[in-house]
């Protein structure tokens, strides 16, 4: 029986199911010469390259959006408190 490959590409998307070492984990998230996205050290797809400044902007925007979502939905706004029911008459 043939062994299945532990790493490669399917339809242009990389995968790697080899047991990750600590060095490979750390070096995969910090690659100064590469672009914003790099191959994941374990699993399928891509991850952010923290050596690229664009990745930090993406993380900051995601953090701001998450903060707004969790803090903004707790209190009702003044518009919803002051509104009265509207009666609609259709002829």
pLDDT for 16-68, tens place per residue? 888 888 888 888 899 998 899 999 989 999 999 999 999 999 999 999 999 99
pTM, two decimal places: 0.62
Task: State the DSSP code for 39.
Answer: E
């Amino acid at each position: 029986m043939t062994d299945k490959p532990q790493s490669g590409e399917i339809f242009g998307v990389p995968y790697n199911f080899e047991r990750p070492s600590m060095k490979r984990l750390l070096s995969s998230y910090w690659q100064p010469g590469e672009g914003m996205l790099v191959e994941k050290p374990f699993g399928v797809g891509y991850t952010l390259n923290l050596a690229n400044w664009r990745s930090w902007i993406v993380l900051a925007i995601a953090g701001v959006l998450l903060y707004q979502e969790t803090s903004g939905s707790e209190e009702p706004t003044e518009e919803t408190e002051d509104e009265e029911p509207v009666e609609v008459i259709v002829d």
